[in-house]
Amino acid sequence: MLAFFLGAVLALGGCTRPPAVSTLESVQAVEGSASAFQVHPLPAAQGATLLALERAPRVLPLRYRVIVVPGSGCAGMGAWADRYFAGLLHAQVLVLHKRGVHPHARTAPGDCPAPFVQSDALSTWQADAQVAVRAWQAALPDGDVLPTVLMGISEGAELLPGLAPEVPRLAGLVLLSASGLDPHEAATLQAQRLGALAEWDALGRLQASPAPGSTVAQGRSLRYWRDLWHWRLAEPLRNGPWPLLQVWGEADALVPQEAYQAFARRAQGRAAPYCARSLPGTD
């Protein structure tokens, strides 16, 4: 299914319907075999290093590249990367990870170590990812002409407009389980859905206070919350020149359907192609 949607992006934003029945051959082919992904250190901002996962195409020839920005938390994608990207047979896949996150870590969100909590912020993550992608692009063969797709999963989608200029042959952006709204607006809708607006408003007052950025609230530093409160995503996505594909589950527990629908309405005015696909019964 993921391969089908990426094919739509590579075909200049074609918004065709997915097949009614998806096959499992690609997933079954990787079960029980050694991982095709290798850990790839990449430079990041301020002299830091990110640990990415990288995989060559499963089937030659190489036809396109995919750069993936995962969601929040301090767990890596190593445990399921082979299955997750199994259908991208002809793609070279690079999966970035935040600084301090090992690709094979399986740490629960509530157990992230203190150094990670203090370093985690959208501005840091974006600066790190920009440096890493720039270095990775610089190492590609001379004369490379293959297209690249940028994919953001959940929180990772919030970095895509800032990463787009780092990719010379960008075919388009893919948002998976990401509303497309500014994160503060999307989180407010989720707080409303959960009946937690009072707690959300209290957090808003705290992040606006003079309290140190290192102060931890709701499992994250105030530096993280201050970035989130002021991060802009909807307008850059709406005005961007790249084809945009957005895919989400209609049973998403973390992002209300109202958020997805709100962005879909705003994106209808994009000059570049926009395709929205919701998957019934999927979280």
Residue 281: Cβ within 10 Å count: 7
Residue 43 to residue 160: CA distance in whole angstroms: 18
- Closest residue by Cα to residue 159 from 148, 151, 169: 151
Section 82-86 average pLDDT: 97
**Average model confidence (pLDDT) for the chain?**
92
pLDDT bracket for residue 35 (50, 70, 90): very high
pLDDT bracket for residue 125 (50, 70, 90): very high
The tally of CA atoms less than 13 A away on the side-chain side of residue 174 is 28
Residue 163 has pLDDT above 90, yes or no: yes
Tokens of 158: 């919030």
Residue 151 to residue 45: CA distance in whole angstroms: 21
pLDDT bracket for residue 283 (50, 70, 90): confident
Residue 11 has pLDDT above 60, yes or no: no
Report the chain's terminal Cα–Cα distance, integer Å.
Answer: 15
CA distances from 5 to 1, 36, 182 (A): 6, 22, 24
Is-contact 67 163, C-beta < 8 A?
Answer: yes
Tokens of 281: 């019964």
Render pLDDT for 171-205 as a digit per residue (tens, 0 to 9): 999 999 999 999 999 999 999 999 999 999 999 99
Looking at residue 4, its pLDDT comes to 52
Section 102-130 average pLDDT: 97
The lowest-confidence range among 31-45, 107-121, 221-235, 260-274 is 31-45
Residue 139 to residue 141: CA distance in whole angstroms: 7
Please name the residue that has the structure tokens 């990041």.
44
Looking at residue 29, its pLDDT comes to 52
